[in-house]
């Protein structure tokens, strides 16, 4: 994996490099980064938790939320939204 920052705007706007996964368009690079981040935060949370079954999952869940927030901040959605104005009928 290259070390360039995933949020690099030029990257997502310049090349038509994205593919469809699960009905939406993603960049393979960003997808790998997101999976890496979420796996690390989730499994990491699970592993650093005190040795108690329900706490382990709670920490894991907190890890998921943290991973999700990080990914949402650094990855730009590959969707272009345009608006169509309706004429009053």
Under the rule (CB under 8 A), what is the footprint of another protein?
Answer: 13, 15-28, 30-35, 37-39, 41-43, 46, 53-54, 56-58, 60-61, 63-64, 67-68, 71-72, 75-89
Residue 2 CA to residue 22 CA, distance in Å, equals 24
63 touches 56 (CB < 8 A): no
Output 3 or 20, the one with its CB closest to another protein: 20
Closest separation between CB of residue 62 and another protein, Å? 11
31 touches 21 (CB < 8 A): yes
Residue 21 CA to residue 79 CA, distance in Å, equals 13
Output 3 or 87, the one with its CB closest to another protein: 87
Closest separation between CB of residue 46 and another protein, Å? 5
Output 4 or 39, the one with its CB closest to another protein: 39
Closest separation between CB of residue 12 and another protein, Å? 8
Q: Exposed/middle/buried for 18, CB within 10 Å: 0-12, 13-18, 19+?
A: middle
């Amino acid at each position: 994996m290259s070390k360039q920052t995933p949020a690099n705007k030029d990257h997502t706007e310049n090349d038509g490099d994205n593919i469809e996964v699960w009905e939406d368009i993603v960049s393979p690079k960003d997808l790998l980064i997101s999976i890496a981040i979420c796996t690390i935060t989730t499994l990491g949370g699970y592993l650093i938790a005190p040795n108690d079954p329900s706490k382990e999952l709670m920490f894991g869940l907190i890890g998921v939320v943290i991973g999700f927030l990080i990914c949402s901040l650094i990855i730009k959605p590959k969707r272009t939204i345009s608006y169509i104005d309706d004429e009053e009928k």
